[in-house]
Chains A and B, each alone.
Chain A
């Protein structure tokens, strides 16, 4: 080693915290000009992200974990920080996304400059990034909960940036409630640890003085799953995502959807594999796997029916969290059956998909932000033909769409392929039931992948191809270069993660090795470092994305050659598309609703669609329609059958309690007075 890693970690940590600190406070203190505030805030965030990348890489390379500790005067609270491979990996994810999103933000928030306080927006943005970094670095339960809560609150304030809109306020309120319900469950999990271990330090969580009894371990499993699951957006706790993520400014949506929900994945892995030492019964992993499969499938199905581009992306986050959990869940099953190599593979697949999703979902949200910036609408039915107006955005969006659809040789393909392998290798489990069920999970994953592809065929096709469907789309212009660079950086990360898995796998392997104790990188990367092969000795498949990419590139000239040889002479004619003699209009185009109609029909059991068709006839003749009105609506099953009843019961209870809230000052004083007297008599 040429330079001292621990020195880099020390200074990396210090500069990350201080640069974000500068980004939080400097804009509001020194500058009056909104544009300068914008530049200072996002410049500081970018610098801090670069420092974060250095810190993450150094933490991953360091042979031992680095710990820092500052005591406080408050009971039970110590500001403990630990830089180990798992936290470094997440610091890396946060910082990579943060770098691109901050670059994008410089251009994106320009239109906010006159409407909103740039100091507040920029400061909160920095605080959001810093709180996420501290969440993954915290090494003390109370400290963790504090920064977790700060992360939730700051993101709430970012969600309600455009608070003049009623729907944004509703989204923020919904998010605030859900995130606090989740936090309550996490607190319960940590309190159980505290009660068993006698301290809030994570070190004692890992090594409690006496082994934690089975019942309490199960309680921790369940509360951590609900608590972190709410933040991650697993079905059925996902309902807030499609409201909150679209409401935030797009660069914040990119971070919320790409990174913030990953802190929940971090929490789950930390609790199950680190604190509980990776020792658990098989049904824990099975539950995680099932939840993952259901989330993946339902997430993508609801995404298909969504025509608000940002809501669509939010539903895809539910899907991808499901895929990540499928990897982690299969890893947990293998772990409990004493198959550490496979456990490491499942976990690695999950973590690989975590970083991939952060990149392509971030990219897609930035792309959606660009579309919003250019057209001022999120409704896909008003886009169309944007590939000619915004070629850069189109290319970047396409890269993201290919990645999320897991088409080879993209990064999404690599991690989903690893997840598939992990599920197929279940035949090594000695339990017959699981041998049957895990391939079913693989089938659900396959269905998910297909539907995701359909969804992005829709999203890209409807938005970018054909003719503009509205005045918004006709007047759209390409976004400024500051935003294009942001998207380009994300796209670059996606491509690198896709084409160089043999470089990425050993890095993630350091994380899984620190958790499972077994390194599988050497086994996994084969063929001289150009291919991945999970189980070569079992005669299983192997892939090499660079070779695939090369093949695809070679296929293009090959196809052209074939066309030239077989297809005869190449003739070019320029003429309008034939429209049966009528002039083509945007209204004749395939709509997003129409595109997804077949899928809606096939899965009507899940969607429960209601269709309303009203036809208004001409007065002169009942055979000619004057106007037709078509309404279609899918039933929000979870809200109607799970959330609404709970809300109703709560409201009834609240109405009862409300009686004591008379609103009269004197009555309130009397309450205090009577309480005082009763207490005085009590202590006598």
Chain B
């Protein structure tokens, strides 16, 4: 299972970096449908990374995971989200908790933090590639940050899915993938979560005439 080619490891790093880049693009984007597209793009990159890892390590079950990633994360979930956007007629994220330039700065800091945190683990040296674990953690943190910084429920769903992409990247690129059964379970969870959050968004719209989650404060006694 050892990696012989430097080339392969470089490629995995490159793809991981592209994943990170799409995260920044999502942060910088106000239009919701563009955010969804960027998420779909990110998922495609993820699938490519997974396929690369599968090719390099010979762990063929990761191909299945890569295929599922394309189907569910790049096709099905974006469609669901777009349908929600269409139906609820929320096109743009207008008010932000944190404005875009500051968000980008914070995300930059998070990436540095992620590299700093994973340094001791990477230096142990048994990872497939040097940097993908750090990048994966950075993506998780940025996904989390999206959920905090954006108000619309749809953006929060995207943040949640970005977190999941980060975890998946960490699992495949750094640890040669999880057992297939676990991955299948995760995909199922994601799908269910997507559906639940879709319903939740509808309810939010029905109750508050808005998908702004800060209005949930009104539920407090």
Interface residues of A (CB under 8 A from B): 661-666, 669-670, 672-673, 676-677, 680-681, 684
Contact = CB atoms under 8 A, between A and B. Distances in A.
Contacts of B144: 669, 672-673, 676
B151 A666 contact: yes
A88 to B, nearest CB: 48
A665 B117 contact: no
9 contacts: A662-B217, A665-B214, A669-B144, A669-B147, A669-B148, A676-B144, A677-B141, A684-B116, A684-B117
A310 to B, nearest CB: 33
B124 interface: no
Given A666-B148, A666-B151, A673-B145, 7 more contacts: A662-B217, A663-B216, A664-B214, A666-B97, A666-B147, A676-B144, A680-B117
Contacts of A662: 217, 220
B120 interface: yes
Contacts of A665: 156, 213-214, 216
B191 interface: no
A663 to B, nearest CB: 3
B148 A681 contact: no
B219 interface: yes
Q: Is the interface of B mostly helix, strand, loop or mixed?
A: helix
Contacts of A684: 116-117, 119-120
Contacts of A663: 216-220
Contact of A670 (B113, B137, B148, B220): B148
A664 B117 contact: no
Contacts, number: 43
Given A673-B145, A673-B148, A676-B144, A666 B213 contact: yes
Nearest to A663: B220
Contacts of B113: 677, 681
Contacts of B149: 666
Nearest to B214: A664
A666 B95 CA distance: 14
Contacts of B220: 661-663
Q: Which of B113, B141, B148 has the most CB of A within 10 A?
A: B148
Interface in B85-107: 97
Interface residues of B, number: 22
Contacts of A676: 141, 144
Contacts of A666: 97, 147-149, 151, 213-214
A135 to B, nearest CB: 37
A140 B27 CA distance: 56
Nearest to B219: A663
Interface string B129-154: 00000000100010011011101000
Contacts of B147: 666, 669
Nearest to A670: B148
B216 A664 contact: yes
Nearest to A661: B220
Interface in B168-221: 213-214, 216-220
Contacts of B216: 663-665
Nearest to B114: A680
B217 A681 contact: no
A684 B121 CA distance: 9
A677 to B, nearest CB: 7
A146 B137 CA distance: 40
A356 B141 CA distance: 66
A422 B120 CA distance: 73
Contacts of B141: 673, 676-677
Nearest to B110: A677
A393 to B, nearest CB: 46
B107 to A, nearest CB: 13
B97 A681 contact: no
A680 B117 CA distance: 7
Contacts of B145: 673
A661 B213 CA distance: 16
A426 B157 CA distance: 76
A15 B117 CA distance: 59
Nearest to B121: A684
B208 to A, nearest CB: 12
A666 B152 CA distance: 11
A342 B97 CA distance: 77
B217 A664 contact: yes
A596 to B, nearest CB: 42
A342 to B, nearest CB: 58
**4 A-B pairs with the lowest CB-CB distances in the bound complex, closest first:** A663-B220, A663-B217, A665-B213, A669-B148
Nearest to A666: B148
Nearest to B98: A666
B122 to A, nearest CB: 12
Contacts of A681: 113, 117
Interface string B18-36: 0000000000000000000
A119 B190 CA distance: 36
Contacts of B156: 665
A673 B97 CA distance: 15
Nearest to A683: B117
A663 B113 CA distance: 29
A669 B163 CA distance: 13
Contacts of A673: 141, 144-145, 148
Contacts of A664: 214, 216-217
Contacts of A677: 113, 141
Nearest to B119: A684
Contacts of A670: 148
A673 B119 CA distance: 20
A663 B215 CA distance: 9
A400 B116 CA distance: 77
A680 B216 CA distance: 30
A668 to B, nearest CB: 9
A184 to B, nearest CB: 27
A658 to B, nearest CB: 10
Nearest to A672: B144
Contacts of B148: 666, 669-670, 673
A665 to B, nearest CB: 5
Contacts of A661: 220
Question: Which interface residue of A665, A672, A673 has the most chain B CB atoms within 10 A?
Answer: A665
B129 to A, nearest CB: 20
Nearest to A664: B217
A665 B200 CA distance: 14
A669 B147 CA distance: 7
Contacts of B97: 666
B179 to A, nearest CB: 21
Contacts of B117: 680-681, 684
Contacts of B119: 684
Contacts of B214: 664-666
Residue among A661, A677, A681 having the largest count of chain B Cβ atoms under 10 Å? A677
A386 B113 CA distance: 81
Contacts of B213: 665-666
A665 B159 CA distance: 14
A670 B141 CA distance: 11
Contacts of B151: 666
